[in-house]
């Protein structure tokens, strides 16, 4: 199997792009924000610059490379196309930059650091080691990033709610909507897609184009990521419930 070379990729260009977006957010767009949340909010802006384009690019690259759009007929082990490799590079650059952000500024957030390391492992092995499996990986990327716009809008409102009544109203309004949307995608669609890929790999339909070590490790990362996402959103639901109960108690008293 021919291993793609780094000089064939756009990884460096995309990395500089996300560095620029982060600096633009921190020093220009959010320059009047409190330093307490400015770095995290800049990460959200960078996530927005990645997530929405990644959703459309991932979906388009899959549809363009497959004969059928039926989930049961997708070839999850097909060779990566040039467009799919570019999307993998685009996402790799984002996760590298965001990982750097967390390691330097928020090193205590071990869950996010572990998530980014696991995601980078999958992206890098798919793009630079195997050259196959982008349909599976970009399918997961599509499901992961389809909630990005809603999630980052909610996060920005959360960071700003103390200083802005409008942000507080947006946060209050958006919380149950975002939580329900996220739960549906990560709790239903994500596991369904993972099951389809697991069946495909277990059946040997990949023709050994994806080595056993890659199949197992990719599925482990996928299951752990879905589990961590569900744990995160469950905690958010519980916090929202406790907050609503406190407000009701205050009204009564």
Tokens of 159: 């960071």
Q: For residues 72-96, b (16+ Cβ closer than 10 Å) or e, as one string?
A: eebbbbbbbeebbbbbbbbbbbbbb
State what percent of residues in the chain have pLDDT above 90: 80
- Enter the DSSP assignment of 3: P
Instruction: Please state whether 211 falls in left (phi above 0), alpha (psi between -120 and 50) or beta.
Output: beta
Residue for token pair 């596991």: 191
In the beta sheet, which residues pair with residue 132?
A: 79
Helices (H) and strands (E) in the chain, counts: 9, 0
Can you give the pLDDT at residue 206?
67
* Model pLDDT for residues 213-253, shown as the tens digit of each residue: 999 999 999 999 999 999 999 999 999 999 888 877 777 76
191 class by beta-carbon count within 10 Å (0-12 exposed, 13-18 middle, 19+ buried): middle
Can you give the pLDDT at residue 8?
62
- Enter the DSSP assignment of 7: G
Spatial contact of 11 and 92, defined as CB atoms under 8 Å apart: yes
Q: How far apart are the first and last CA of the chain?
A: 70
What is the pTM (predicted TM-score) of this model? 0.92
What contacts 24+ positions apart, CB below 8 Å, involve 188-193?
A: 189/143, 190/140, 190/143, 190/144, 190/226, 190/229, 191/226, 193/71, 193/139, 193/140, 193/143
User: What is the average pLDDT value for the chain, to the nearest integer?
Assistant: 91
More confident residue, 191 or 253: 191
Element (H, E) at 98: helix 82-105
- Enter the DSSP assignment of 79: B
């Amino acid at each position: 199997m021919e291993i793609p070379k780094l000089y064939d990729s756009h990884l460096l260009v995309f990395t500089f792009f996300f560095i620029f977006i982060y600096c633009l957010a921190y020093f220009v767009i959010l320059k009047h924000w409190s330093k307490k949340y400015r770095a995290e909010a800049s990460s959200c802006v960078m996530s927005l610059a990645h997530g929405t384009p990644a959703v459309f690019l991932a979906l388009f690259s899959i549809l363009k490379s497959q004969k059928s759009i039926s989930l049961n007929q997708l070839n999850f082990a097909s060779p990566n196309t040039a467009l799919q490799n570019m999307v993998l590079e685009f996402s790799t650059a984002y996760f590298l930059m965001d990982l750097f952000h967390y390691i330097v500024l928020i090193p205590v957030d071990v869950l996010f650091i572990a998530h980014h390391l696991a995601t980078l492992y999958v992206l890098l092995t798919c793009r630079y080691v195997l050259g196959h499996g982008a349909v599976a990986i970009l399918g997961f990327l599509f499901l992961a990033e389809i909630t990005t716009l809603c999630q980052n809008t909610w996060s920005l409102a959360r960071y700003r709610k103390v200083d802005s009544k409008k942000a507080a109203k947006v946060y209050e309004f958006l919380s149950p909507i975002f939580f329900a949307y996220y739960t549906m995608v990560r709790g239903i669609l994500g596991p369904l897609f993972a099951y389809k890929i697991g069946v495909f790999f277990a059946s040997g339909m990949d023709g050994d184009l994806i080595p056993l070590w890659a199949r197992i490790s990719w599925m482990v990362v996928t299951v752990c990521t879905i589990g961590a996402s569900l744990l995160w959103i469950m905690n958010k639901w519980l916090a929202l419930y406790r907050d609503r109960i406190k407000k009701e108690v205050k009204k009564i008293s």
